[in-house]
Structure 1
């Protein structure tokens, strides 16, 4: 099969021929149609996860997938061969990823692909969408609660903003000027251009009485610290990127902390909730240009989601 792989951390990879994997017990083999990219894929390539995850070389990155079941491993009876599925590959190591023509995935970490989604849309959802859902559920926003979202127009933000506004919250999106219109289409009611001044100063103008929750999707702990005093008493500070810690919560008397993805059993619930909401912007790259797609992901200025398509 053709796959994008690297041979060592931090070095450029290439699209090459590699053996097609065989599904082990509890796994399915998927013929990949689309592979969604996430910030974590860049972290894996750079070796940032090597201290706590096993990595196998040549390392094929990628976790999110949409495609067609090609074969079943021992002990698996469903999904059936030939069915369209989406989800995450679910293995307990990095290296057998989705940026390839075929990938093995744990059967319990994929779900039937809804007919209302094409493969690129489906592949964009699992990690970013579930992370967004978990963040919104953790905060539990009510009507007119004001949320400040750092990184509102990125992958997770493109799901979180519509999910939060659908529950009645108002969102202040921290983003770049060129993404302002996109942020509004997602549902943001106010915007802060972080290149035009310090967000803490600009937020005081927009929300002089404070905000209900601070949502960090970029991992800038210093920026989070500078904004935390504008969160109302017993309000929320949450992050999926390491920008919130226990010391900050204690100092400002806030609830929250780190929130991650997972909960793949909630994929179909999530897709139902997203059905009538604005979809994220998706830019696709062919497998042959996987290196370019990963390079764009590494800029940390992606609008919406990047997806690699496989013919």
Structure 2
């Protein structure tokens, strides 16, 4: 099958290439998915640069990609949850970094898959799993509920926009940081936008003099700002900065979980959650997608479409 691979770590796209790799085997409890769309996440190019080498085993050559939406073409033994022809999505991270989703086919554990909701098209479904589940896990860890004032650092990105929508559905007041061109987008989703950068503490305190009750950092490097605007007894998490654990917060690392993904699918079906797609790229242009992701200026999700 056709797939994008890299055969060594690289901080740029120099090791990326399009090639032929063996078709995936489908073991017990697995499903073979024909990929229709695969979301791009910052972790994809950070992995390629060796950023997680101390944490995860890597077997070269690597097919990057952890998100997928597609059609089940085969199931392994004892996999009653799915049948060929089912439309599914998955956060398909495995214990060893090797066989990812930027390919024509990928085998994923049935426990990590969920049925694609009809409310989402292929591009949206392909971009939802990791971002949506990170947002959901963050808000679950924060125990966000009605009456909370929730601050989101990086509210216009894929994770931030999902957290914004989930937080609003739970009855929270949501304040989101973003560049000014994205303020109308945040308002349309139900948040109060503030510009990030110098003066952010003062801008948030002007909106919420008593301080916010919960903060989710989807950018990194925001601990001091978070603590400066957090009300007494407030909670905070980060997906990008493990130093929060030394400052009373929690570092979020989402797990593959089909049941949680199905929960997100239910929110999409209720009209609570949608996915902004910033762009789609064929396998030949994964490098361009990585460049745009690295820039930090993509609003919503980027997807690969084999």
How far off is 1:12 after superposition?
A: 3.4
For the residues of structure 2 that align with 1:68 and 1:141, how far apart are their CA atoms? Answer: 34
How far off is 1:6 after superposition?
A: 0.8
Deviations 1:39-94 (A, max 9, x none): 21122111111112111211111011111112223443441122211112242111
How far off is 1:227 after superposition?
A: 3.2
For the residues of structure 1 that align with 2:275 and 2:89, how far apart are their CA atoms? Answer: 17
For the residues of structure 2 that align with 1:280 and 1:89, how far apart are their CA atoms? Answer: 19
Between stretches 294-303 and 28-37, larger displacement belongs to 294-303
The answer (yes or no) to whether the contact 2:72–2:88 under 8 Å persists in 1 is yes
Q: TM-score, normalised by structure 1?
A: 0.90
What's the counterpart of residue 152 of structure 1? 155
Cα root mean square deviation, aligned: 1.8
What's the counterpart of residue 49 of structure 1? 52
**Distance 1:224-1:243 versus aligned 2 partners, 3 A rule:** farther
For the residues of structure 2 that align with 1:174 and 1:127, how far apart are their CA atoms? Answer: 21
What's the counterpart of residue 3 of structure 1? 3
For the residues of structure 2 that align with 1:55 and 1:270, how far apart are their CA atoms? Answer: 30
Q: 2:251 aligns with which of 240, 249, 258?
A: 258
Deviations 1:173-199 (A, max 9, x none): 11111111111122212x22125x331
Q: Give the length in aligned residue pairs.
A: 300
The answer (yes or no) to whether the contact 1:61–1:97 under 8 Å persists in 2 is yes
For the residues of structure 2 that align with 1:230 and 1:108, how far apart are their CA atoms? Answer: 39
For the residues of structure 2 that align with 1:115 and 1:148, how far apart are their CA atoms? Answer: 31
Matching of residues 1-311 of structure 1 within 5 Å? 1-10=1-10, 11-189=14-192, 191-195=193-197, 197-220=198-221, 223-242=222-241, 244-249=243-248, 256-262=249-255, 263-275=257-269, 276-277=271-272, 279-282=274-277, 283-310=279-306
For the residues of structure 2 that align with 1:80 and 1:14, how far apart are their CA atoms? Answer: 33
For the residues of structure 1 that align with 2:209 and 2:25, how far apart are their CA atoms? Answer: 58
Deviations 1:130-189 (A, max 9, x none): 111111122223334221110111111010001101122111111111111111122212
The answer (yes or no) to whether the contact 2:201–2:228 under 8 Å persists in 1 is no
How far off is 1:204 after superposition?
A: 2.3
**Structure 1 unaligned blocks of 5 or more:** 250-255
How far off is 1:278 after superposition?
A: 5.0
For the residues of structure 1 that align with 2:179 and 2:15, how far apart are their CA atoms? Answer: 29
The answer (yes or no) to whether the contact 1:214–1:228 under 8 Å persists in 2 is no
How far off is 1:303 after superposition?
A: 0.8
Deviations 1:245-283 (A, max 9, x none): 23211xxxxxx4122322332211221123312523102
Q: TM-score, normalised by structure 2?
A: 0.92
The answer (yes or no) to whether the contact 2:245–2:251 under 8 Å persists in 1 is no
For the residues of structure 1 that align with 2:199 and 2:63, how far apart are their CA atoms? Answer: 39
For the residues of structure 2 that align with 1:77 and 1:216, how far apart are their CA atoms? Answer: 39
